[in-house]
Amino acid sequence: MDLDVFVSAHRAEWDRLDALLSRRRSLSGAEADELVTLYQRAATHLSLIQSSAPDPQLTGRLSRLVARARGAVTGTRRASWRDVTRFLTQGFPAAVYRARHWWVPTALLSTATAVLLGWWIGTHPEVQAAIAAPGELRSLTRPGGEYETYYSSHPAAAFAAQVWTNNAEAAAMCLVLGVFLGLPVLWILFENMLNLGVGIGLMSSAGRLDTFLGLVLPHGLLELTAVFVAAGTGLKLGWTVIDPGPRSRRTALAEEGRAALGMAIGLALVLFVSGAIEGFVTPSGLPTWARIGIGIVAELAFLTYVYVLGGRAARSGETGDVSVAERSATLPTAA
């Protein structure tokens, strides 16, 4: 393509489109039809230039012109309650369901790691001695010790808000840092499982594992599931960098990244529920069986939500990404 000839042939059309877009008054019917036609032509011209004779300055000018024209033709779309409902009933659960092959193995391996660390710490006094002095360990594990008073050391509402903030931040870090080949996600997971393993090991060595589980399970089932979902999604995003599949790497990362961003919002809501349980149920005077029962009900409700609503939405084509109409246009790629 001779770029100079091409620009000379179509400059008048681009200038006319720019003039129509700059009009402050309403366009007449004929002008509106002309705007649509010129917009379609400019989009075609932009595609031809990008594929045949890329010129940064000209591409930038036409990209801005086409973007303005697209906004004028399609109008500005505002979010509505229908979008929120679609996200909660289709987008978020479908994204979690589609990532199940990543977060379910992550959950199983992480839980096994925490149990093994707990067994190792609980059966090796020398490891316990390396963690803290004997007096500090007794202060942690005795009845009424720090492990028990931790959940009632602050007002329930403030404690729930603090827990929610910390967990939502950890989940968001897993989702965002996954793009670095998933390596930071593995470290965040290990830190969480190490903390859990230390608690299991120290309390089991003191003969109070049942007390520890009675304090952790009510909120921990849902909380850890949310962390595992975030970690699995982060690892999936990291693998997309390595193997984007039939899509271009840029397109694949954009699609998976948008889905991960939506998942961060959804998981923040899930962690809000687990934080409320940790703040109000875990330190309550309810019997242990009742507190654990509430945690199990919350966990089963989330899994049902994901596998029923999410599975149905995923099978109908929902991916958790924004709708097709709101995505940027992409050029076809060779197989």
Cα separations in angstroms, 306 against 83, 137, 311, 314: 18, 40, 7, 10
DSSP assignment string, 251-275: HHHHHHHHHHHHHHHHHHHHHHHHH
* Residue bearing tokens 């193997």: 243
Alpha carbon 153 to chain centroid, angstroms = 31
* Percentage, residues of the chain above pLDDT 70: 89
pLDDT band at 1 (very low <50, low <70, confident <90, very high): low
Sequence-ordered list of residues with C-beta below 8 angstroms from that of 109, at least 6 positions apart, any chain: none
pLDDT in tens, 48-80: 877 776 677 888 888 888 888 887 776 655 556
Q: Using one digit for the tens of pLDDT, what is the confidence trace for 287-300?
A: 999 999 999 999 99
When mean pLDDT is compared across 81-95, 121-135, 243-257, 313-327, the lowest value belongs to 313-327
Most confident of 56-65, 175-184, 223-232, 240-249: 223-232
Q: Is the pLDDT of residue 331 over 60?
A: no
| Rounded CA separation 312/326 (Å) | 23
The residue type at 240: T
Long-range Cβ contact pairs of 137-144 (< 8 A, separation 24 or more): 137/202, 137/206, 138/206, 140/202, 141/202, 141/203, 141/205, 141/206, 141/208, 142/206, 143/208, 143/211
The contacts of residue 65 (CB under 8 Å, 6+ apart) are: 14, 17, 18, 21, 42
Regarding pTM above 0.75, the answer is: no
